[in-house]
Amino acid sequence: MNPRKRAARSSSQGQRGNWKPKGAFNIQELPQALVIDILSRLSIKALYSCRCLCKDWLHIIHDPQFARLHLLRSPISILIKTSPRAREQRKFDLIHIAGSPMRVERMRFATKNVLPVCPVSVVKLMNSCNGLLCVCEWMRYDWVYVCNPILGEYISIPFPDRNRHYSIDFVALGFNTRTNEYKIVQTNYYSNYAHEPEAMIYTIGTGVWRSIGKPPSGCRGGPIPFNSFLHGALHWIPVYYCPSPSIQSFDFEREEFRPLLLPPQVNKYNDLRLGVLKGCLFLCVFGGDGRKSDMWLMKNYGVQESWTKVLVIEHLYPRIYSALSNVYEPILFLSDVEILMAYDRFVVRYNLETKCLEKTRIVQTRSQFQAFGYYPGFVSLHDVANGEEVKRYILK
């Protein structure tokens, strides 16, 4: 090499090696729009800590517009509800999965710090919508609670008639995107068949339950999928008195029921699991002993012809007995080739290329638990309650 070039190169490398920043970088000096954009891409656990760093960030994170932006960008997490022995405290775990190899972030909060339920009551998570949970005390149905476990806020709504002589079929929370109102729908039936089934709706902030008439024949559902709110509607698979297989939905803007057609290849004798993944309705179709599942996506919402079989999951653990806990519930995609599913007392990982199934240590409990796909957020009930009394517990 030419001596002059060698000397110049050596000098250049020395300058790079001795380079030092002019001063400490201060993120608060950035334009607020850029700070908001950065914060909106962080996980819930990171944002939970960021609230304590400065008042400016606290105000940003609790702004309703930021909450909406974060929900649009927030990756799906896993919500774990444990059900230990009665003398132990029920807990919710929020688990965020990131990176490869898989990294796990955890947040834990006790139900006594989220809801005013009896310590020995069975807390039933009905569904989620925009990060808010709809919760009841199983077998009591005196109150329905809407809460945000991240903020420790909740509102209590009494059911229409505590002296009722009917049974509640399902209860679920939804959102009217046109009016920005949250609503709760419930359907009930009379065991003595003396009265027709009835659907009722409650708009948060009105204090009134309204009857919207008789639900369609064959729409009785159960259980309602926890993560099945999409395009302003709730979705579920009817399981009672259903002459033909279909998806039933409830539109919270029009306040009406409507069916969606399943793929033509699916029949009512299949075990079906429904939910939302990647912004689409998904349907898992199980057959036989549950060793194999076909996953379908409705790529064009409401159009039967858009149902597309996107993958086949094989070599699963066989079903030991006929029970809901022994059917695989897809939770989230780790990557294009790996999916997490809940099964019995495990969260399992399945690789689509190797067709290998393995148990994970994501859930570290010996108690019974349920795992749900969940989009957590900072939507405050103070911004949506419209006059309802909002109560708050301090998370511990």
Q: From the CB of residue 24, how many other CB atoms can be counted at a distance below 10 Å? A: 5
Is 343 a member of any domain?
Answer: yes
Q: How far apart are CA 190 and CA 197, in angstroms?
A: 7
pLDDT band at 149 (very low <50, low <70, confident <90, very high): confident
Is 38 a member of any domain?
Answer: no
**Considering all CA atoms of the chain, what is the largest pairwise distance in Å, rounded to the nearest integer?**
103
| CB distance 82 to 94 below 8 Å | no
Whether 221 has a pLDDT exceeding 70, the answer reads no
pLDDT at residue number 368 = 77
pTM score: 0.84
pLDDT band at 104 (very low <50, low <70, confident <90, very high): confident
Q: How far apart are CA 266 and CA 246, in angstroms?
A: 9
pLDDT at residue number 304 = 92
pLDDT band at 320 (very low <50, low <70, confident <90, very high): low
Say how many domains are in the chain.
1
Average pLDDT value for the chain: 81
**Which structural domain, as residue segments, surrounds residue 140?**
75-392
Is 65 a member of any domain?
Answer: no
pLDDT digit string, tens, across residues 119-145: 556 778 899 999 999 998 776 678 899
Q: How far apart are CA 212 and CA 187, in angstroms?
A: 10
| CB distance 114 to 154 below 8 Å | yes
pLDDT band at 16 (very low <50, low <70, confident <90, very high): very low
pLDDT band at 324 (very low <50, low <70, confident <90, very high): very low
Handedness of CA 261, 266, 272, 278 (dihedral sign): negative
Helix 32-39, helix 64-73: angle, nearest 10 = 50
What is the mean pLDDT of the segment spanning 374-393? 90
For tokens 């944002």, the residue is 47
pLDDT digit string, tens, across residues 280-318: 999 998 876 677 889 999 999 999 999 999 888 887 876
pLDDT band at 393 (very low <50, low <70, confident <90, very high): low
Whether 215 has a pLDDT exceeding 90, the answer reads no
Is 51 a member of any domain?
Answer: no
CATH number for the domain that contains residue 89: 2.120.10
Lowest mean pLDDT among 37-46, 102-111, 242-251, 349-358: 102-111
pLDDT band at 69 (very low <50, low <70, confident <90, very high): very high
Whether 47 has a pLDDT exceeding 60, the answer reads yes
